[in-house]
Amino acid sequence: MPSSPLPGLYIVATPIGNLGDVSTRAREVLLSADVIACEDTRVTGHLLHLIGIKRPLLRHDDHADDAARARLVERMADERVVLVCDAGTPLISDPGYRLVRDARAAGRMVTSIPGPCAAITGLTLAGLPTDRFLFAGFLPAKAKARDEAIAELAGIRASLVLYESGQRLGPCLAALAAGLGERDAAVARELTKLHEECVTGTLGTLAARYADDKPKGEIVIIVGPPAAVAPATHDDAAVDAALLNALTDAPPARAAKTVAASLGIPRERAYARALALTGKA
Ligand code: SAM
């Protein structure tokens, strides 16, 4: 950080439970803020009190009217506006994207001070593939809308990361098990806090475990990707039928190539059968 930081918008991640996770840079930026835009002034005021910082607070969320947002963007011309949420990384299932959009459109300096995020913390704990993941936030609360959302997620070849409350954990896991099948999954709870835990199992076993249990605290559900679809197996009769059709207007090599591609079988196998069917084997 330069000693006199530039005016603009600073997006600052704050702890998701453990105060030790306030980074040095987050502290410096908070200290130098002209105003801290937050979801709830009591929640952020309490955090600042705990870490010994006192700066002006302003309530701001994505429902703020255009005029309120415009005033904040105007202030960024010569003031340091810091955006925080109640806990974790702003904009991740939290307000802020409209403010960032408008600040960018107005040509303001925008920077992000990374830090805690429950989705990433849960994902790293789960022991599930992390090379591709989809963060889906909170599923809808109503069963029908939730089932539709799960159906949309079913075909995605990636781990899924979801936020959920303890109250709704059981029904949510049951719906995930019904819609996604027996995938490996994890329930990560109270991350970075005293009672942090990460329970792993298949969706079915987790749904059974939490069927009558409404655990306290905050929860991230991580679901592993769908199993790779096994290559289609076709018996000789099916291959022969397709080849006989293809051989009506193509020589064995071309018919074999066509059938191999359409059935997803090795070309050599199709060619060997094509030769046998045409008496050239
Ligand atoms: N912006 C936040 C972030 O970066 O993680 C998330 C805000 S979202 C409104 C709150 C949800 O995040 C909670 O309902 C829970 O699903 C998840 N969450 C937040 N803190 C958590 C924690 N310490 N352990 C597990 N999940 C947490």
Quote the Cα angle for 262-265-268, to 5°. Answer: 115
The predicted pLDDT at position 232 comes to 52
Instruction: Output the CA 245–ligand 1 centroid distance in Å.
Output: 58
* Best residue for ligand 1 mutational test, from 125, 139, 220, 222 (most atoms within 8 Å of Cβ): 220
Protein residue whose Cα sits closest to atom 27 of ligand 1: 218
First to last CA, the chain: 76
Rg (CA), the chain: 27
Are the C-beta atoms of residues 17 and 191 closer than 8 Å to each other? yes
> Measured between alpha carbons, how far is 273 from 32 in angstroms, rounded to an integer?
76
Quote the Cα angle for 220-221-224, to 5°. Answer: 140
pTM score, whole prediction: 0.82
The predicted pLDDT at position 64 comes to 85
Instruction: Output the CA 34–ligand 1 centroid distance in Å.
Output: 27
Q: What is the pLDDT along the chain (281 residues), one digit of tens a residue?
A: 545 689 999 999 999 999 999 999 999 999 999 999 999 999 999 999 999 999 999 999 888 889 999 999 999 999 999 999 999 999 999 999 999 999 999 999 999 999 999 999 999 999 999 999 999 999 999 999 999 999 999 999 999 999 999 999 999 999 999 999 999 999 999 999 999 999 999 999 999 999 999 999 999 999 999 987 544 566 788 778 778 877 877 889 887 776 665 555 677 887 889 899 998 87
Are the C-beta atoms of residues 90 and 83 closer than 8 Å to each other? yes
- Ligand 1 pocket by Cβ (under 6 Å): 16-17, 85, 87-89, 92-94, 117-119, 163-165, 188-193, 218-220
Place of tokens 């291959």: 239
The predicted pLDDT at position 72 comes to 97
Atom of ligand 1 nearest to the CA of 120: 5
| Residue 161 CB neighbour total at 10 angstroms | 24
The predicted pLDDT at position 3 comes to 56
Phi, psi (degrees; rounded to nearest 5) at 150: -65, -40
